[in-house]
């Protein structure tokens, strides 16, 4: 994997710090505005929360942190392995496939979770709700051959 530029790594660290300290992410705010979620009166009460997901690196064994939007539909809390519509899964999804135990910081509190990929039946229910809420994900899925995984946090 190519090493990210120092400025990008710094911004990612600041976003992790922001979510852990305040519960909010500047990049999640940008995502919500880009999706029109802040302007849609029907969706105003529902928003994607920012969380910090801490996984164990599958090769290094080191702790890896990433800020992600977290969704809750029908009592199911999940994150989306979209990687912005890239042809491969994000590294954190691969890490969770190797070691499904993780730590999440949600609402400024740490929670130990078990993770798993949503089954086909679960995805059939959750995916339409997700894409109605954030249509960008439908565009990501249309542009890639892989099925974008929904990772349930339990």
81/42 Cα distance (integer angstroms): 26
3-state DSSP call for residue 137?
A: helix
Instruction: Report the range of poorest mean pLDDT among 11-20, 30-39, 90-99.
Output: 30-39
CB 83 within 8 A of CB 77: no
- Specify the pLDDT at position 19: 72
Which band of pLDDT confidence, cut at 50, 70 and 90, is reported for residue 71? very high
DSSP helix/strand/coil, 93: helix
Length of the chain: 154
- pLDDT tens string 102-116: 999 988 899 999 999
Q: How many CB atoms lie within 10 A of CB 55?
A: 24
**Mean pLDDT across the chain, nearest whole number?**
84
Q: Which two tokens stand for residue 118?
A: 């949503």
Rounded Cα–Cα distance for residues 15 and 124 (Å): 32
Fold of 6-153: Pnp Oxidase; Chain A (2.30.110)
| Mean of pLDDT values over 85-101 | 96
Global confidence as pTM = 0.79
- The pLDDT of residue 21 is above 70: no
pLDDT over 70 (residue 100): yes
The pLDDT tens digits for 125-142 are 999 999 998 888 999 999
Quote the percentage of the chain above a pLDDT of 90. Answer: 55
Give the model's pLDDT for residue 49: 83
């Amino acid at each position: 994997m190519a090493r990210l530029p120092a400025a990008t790594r710094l911004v990612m660290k600041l976003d992790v710090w922001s979510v852990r300290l305040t519960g909010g992410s500047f990049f999640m705010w940008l995502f919500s505005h880009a999706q029109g979620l802040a302007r849609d009166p029907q969706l105003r009460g529902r928003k994607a929360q920012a969380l910090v997901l801490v996984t164990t690196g599958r090769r290094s064994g080191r702790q890896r942190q990433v800020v992600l939007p977290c969704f809750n539909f029908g009592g199911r809390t999940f994150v989306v392995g979209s990687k912005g519509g890239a042809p491969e899964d994000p590294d954190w999804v691969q890490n969770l496939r190797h070691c499904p135990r993780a730590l999440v910081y949600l609402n400024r509190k740490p929670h130990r979770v078990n993770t798993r990929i949503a089954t086909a039946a679960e995805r059939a229910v959750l995916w339409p709700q997700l894409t109605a809420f954030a249509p960008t994900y439908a565009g990501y899925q249309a542009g890639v051959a892989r099925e974008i995984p929904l990772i349930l946090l339990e």
